[in-house]
Amino acid sequence: MKITFLGTGTSCGSPVLGCSCDVCMSEDPHDKRLRSSVLIETEKTRILIDCGPDFRQQMMFRPFRRIDGVLITHTHYDHVGGMDDLRPYCAFGEIDVYADFGAADSLRQTIPYCFTENKYPGVPGIRLNVIEPDIPFNIGDITVRPFRVMHGKMPILGFLIGDFAYITDMKTIGKEEINALRGRIDTLIVNALRFDKPHHSHQLVDDAIEFSRTVSARRTFFIHSCHHLGRHKDANRCFPEGFELAYDGQEIVV
């Protein structure tokens, strides 16, 4: 199974508008971070996790073929702002979108024209599937197990697929969820905002390292990282073995 990092940045992305820091002024493509999203592919199945406002740009030069499912972690704009850009992929049929009850309700309000009885011609054909934490489901030949994490006080979803886990925007996670994940994760993709200055709803690098070690992940890739984390090449020198800052366009096999 191939994982492609479509975006590894925060809600502002990098470079940040109006910022002249070393990261935002860098010419290194590893320092250009679009809003966080990944593409998961087997020979038969293609799944997108989150569909942010950079989705069109992220997919522009990738093979145009069916998207079998879109997993939604939560409905903050940087994670769902590109939903309307799914329209071209509806040439292959309706697109199944998977979200928990709160996120599904939010999507109905955010893009109501996709869910009316008499739809305007050309709107995305979205089939909304409500999912629950800890109840697995299948998309093609991929089994997905959603689990609960907390984005500050907001409950959102992480996803376990085989021995690969994807988590974004986490601040905390419950003991039951940790126990259910411990020893099951080989490859972890998890948010790490920056090195210092605590945030009310995002974990820092040290938090992400501690979480990874708690669940005994073999290798960990950091995403949803802001420009304050520093340049890609410099940040990666600071991490222990088995940890690295992901970059846009990076591909890994799990």
Q: Does 117 score more than 90 pLDDT?
A: no
Instruction: Note the pLDDT of residue 119.
Output: 87
Domains of the chain: 2-12+22-253 (3.60.15.10)
| Residues, the chain | 254
Coil, helix or strand at residue 209: helix
Q: How many CA atoms lie within 13 A of 214 on its CB side?
A: 16
Do residues 55 and 82 lie in contact, with contact meaning Cβ atoms separated by under 8 Å?
Answer: yes
* Distance separating alpha carbons of residues 14 and 216, to the nearest angstrom: 30
- What mean pLDDT do residues 130-134 have? 98
pLDDT digits (tens, 9 = 90+) for 20-68: 999 999 999 999 999 999 999 999 999 999 999 999 999 999 999 999 9
- What mean pLDDT do residues 173-184 have? 97
- Model pTM greater than 0.95? yes
Q: Please name the residues in contact with 240: beta carbons below 8 A apart, sequence gap of 6 or more.
A: 209
Residue 17 Cα distances to 27, 138, 169, angstroms? 15, 40, 21
Instruction: Note the pLDDT of residue 227.
Output: 98
Per-residue pLDDT band at 1 (split at 50, 70, 90): very high
